[in-house]
Amino acid sequence: MKHGSPYGIHRVLEPKGVLPQGAWKLENTMEIFDNELLIDVRALNIDAASFTQIKQQGAGDSAKVAEIVLDIVAQRGKQHNPVTGSGGMLIGAVAQIGPALAGKTDLAVGDKIATLVSLSLTPLRIDAIDQVHMNKDQIDIRGQAILFETGLYARLPADIDEKLALAILDVAGAPAQTARLVQPGQTVVVIGGGGKSGTLCLYEAKKRAGAQGCVIGVSPFEKDCQRMQQLGWADHTLQVDATQPLALMEAVAQVTQGRMADVVINCVNIPNTEMGSILATRQHGTIYFFSMATSFTAAALGAEGVGKDVQMIVGNGYATGHAGHALNLLRESPQLRALFDQLYV
């Protein structure tokens, strides 16, 4: 059995010399190297920006969505959307453990896990697509995948449904980073506050900002705003399209008496919301761009262009302990658990 790079470079077919995430194509035969894990895959959770784009390309037809996903994996050896550049994550069961990992992992064959690294760097083979869940960004498949030696994973918890755990773990970095950023008494804007990651961030932001803080949820959709109001974690809900930067700036200015936000969390799944985020933030404030639809060129040049000295944080989906942190939010809040059970179970 061959020994591979801990970062999976041995799986890169083209272009040579790059890491798997940046590669156009990976080798996805499922004969493992001695430092890899083989996973029998049960479901994919496609990144929200990617799934939105695929649904648009497929005109909202689930069969066409399945065809597009199969075509991407056939071309690239991984689920790496060539338009958005993003992937997602998967759940499955450990099928084989390379002998070089025997003393380095606490996993056993048969253990159910979720990968915590992007599908954009994960060698994947799809044998069949059983169902596309259009409103959950999830696809039930039969297939296999490879996890490299450095690949992160989490055991699926016994007290949370698999599909719910998959949905939450895919965005676990968002509430974990929100917990780091938000301080008591701050004003926080969550753009995309009606979505999956946005809802978790609203809850986390309210917990961290406290009674003296102010949490503002933003969505262009009336139903999202109504739900945010019903949940009670947003002090204000703004039905505004974040792709309209002046409209968002004016709405935030109105509810903050012109002070704007100390922290902006951007969780949207569409492009062109960078300037809205920037204009909603006070001077020397902080923006966390969790969305993979973000253009960091547009953000950097846009902030410069309007004279905003703001700290902008790349949406790293990983934070130490983020998986456990996100799942514990469901355990500590019956209201949050009930909502996500309704949406994903």
For CATH 3.40.50.720, list the domain ranges present in the chain. Answer: 173-344
Question: Over pLDDT 90: what percentage of the chain?
Answer: 93
Average pLDDT over residues 131-152: 96
Residues of the chain with CATH 3.90.180: 9-170
Give the sheet arrangement for strand 311-314, strand by strand: 236-239, 214-219, 187-191, 261-266, 281-289, 311-314
d(CA 100, CA 336): 41
Write the pLDDT tens digit of every residue in 94-108.
Answer: 999 999 998 888 899
What percentage of residues in the chain have a pLDDT greater than 70? 100
* pTM recorded for the entire structure: 0.88
CA pair distance 121, 139, nearest whole angstrom = 18
DSSP class of residue 271? S
Whether 44 has a pLDDT exceeding 90, the answer reads: yes
Q: What is the pLDDT of residues 251-301, one digit of tens each?
A: 999 999 999 999 999 999 889 999 999 999 999 999 999 988 899 999 999
CATH of 173-344, picked from 2.40.50.140, 3.30.70.20, 3.90.1150.10, 3.40.50.720, is: 3.40.50.720
Structural tokens at position 61: 């037809």
Does the pLDDT at position 317 exceed 90?
no
* CA–CA gap between residue 250 and residue 339 (Å, rounded): 31
For 186-270, list the strands marked E by DSSP.
187-191, 214-219, 236-239, 261-266
Which CATH topology does 9-170 take?
Quinone Oxidoreductase; Chain A, domain 1 (3.90.180)
Structure tokens at 26: 């990976």
Where are the extended beta strands (E) located within the chain?
A: 12-14, 25-26, 37-46, 88-97, 112-115, 124-133, 138-147, 153-155, 187-191, 214-219, 236-239, 261-266, 281-289, 311-314
